[in-house]
Amino acid sequence: MPTALVLGASRGLGLEFVRQYRADGWRVIAVARSDEGIEAIKALGAEAHKLDLTDAAAVAGLGWKLDGETIDVAIYNAGVIGPRTEGAQPIPKQDFDAVMHSNVLGPMMALPLLLPFVETGNHGRGGVLAVLSSKMGSIGGMESNRAWMYRISKAAVNAVLKSVSLDARHAICVALHPGWVQTDMGGPQADLTPQQSVAGIRRTLAGLTQTDNGSFHNYDGAPIPW
């Protein structure tokens, strides 16, 4: 039975990853920071760990709890949008800290720690280590500066993913854009349901090969410029 790990799975896309991998018969380990999130994960038959991904000691503790595990797919899903600014406005330090801690510091602590567990995944051939980024973080594709704190954090997490991919020997490390999705973050007017987005991402992840290590993909598999 393959194993998936989902970091930030209380609701939205994270919880949908747990639902779909469980429905497919996978063993799922998932992380949330609230009691409600833990209950939602457990209700889907997954193993739940309560921690805030910006807490260095808690993330290190997760590493100890995973000792001996082999992970086939690990997904860093947690993210926050921050202020929905128009234009390049001066950013209050507390907004910078909140967004950069969840979207960049968390992955910089968790991804290197998770890589060894993923290296042995997929029957020793190497699993997939994915981070939920956003097309809004693509510098090559930037046509708007709306919510620039979020954009900059996602450009930074893309650099985190690319850096980690250079240490991978077998694992395939990828950044993903889930599409514009109907979650608390995306809003009800978004293009895709969480079911559609996650089904597309799971198909994309299942079709990756070693040459995809260190790349950025749309949920449907199309490449996105960094």
- Taking CB under 6 A as the rule, does residue 78 contact ligand NAP? yes
Please identify, using beta-carbon distances, which residue of 9 and 118 lies nearer to ligand NAP. Answer: 9
- Taking CB under 6 A as the rule, does residue 50 contact ligand NAP? no
Of residues 138 through 197, those in contact with ligand NAP by CB under 6 A are 177-178, 180-181, 183-186, 190
- Taking CB under 6 A as the rule, does residue 8 contact ligand NAP? yes
- Choosing from 20, 134, 138, 215, the residue that interacts with ligand NAP (CB under 6 A) is 134
| Least CB distance to ligand NAP at residue 223 (A) | 16
Please identify, using beta-carbon distances, which residue of 119 and 148 lies nearer to ligand NAP. Answer: 148
How far, rounded to the nearest angstrom, does the alpha carbon of residue 110 sit from its chain's CA centroid?
11
Q: Residue 201: CB partners within 8 Å, gap ≥ 6? A: 17, 130, 176, 178, 219
- Taking CB under 6 A as the rule, does residue 107 contact ligand NAP? no
Residue type, 158: N
Stretch touching ligand NAP by CB under 6 A, among 4-12, 83-91, 122-130, 198-206: 4-12
The CA-based diameter of the chain, rounded to the nearest angstrom, is 49
- Taking CB under 6 A as the rule, does residue 216 contact ligand NAP? no
> Strand, helix or coil at 217?
strand
Question: First vs last Cα of the chain: how many Å apart?
Answer: 34
| Least CB distance to ligand NAP at residue 123 (A) | 29
What's the rounded Cα separation, in Å, for the pair 162 and 166?
7
What's the rounded Cα separation, in Å, for the pair 2 and 206?
12
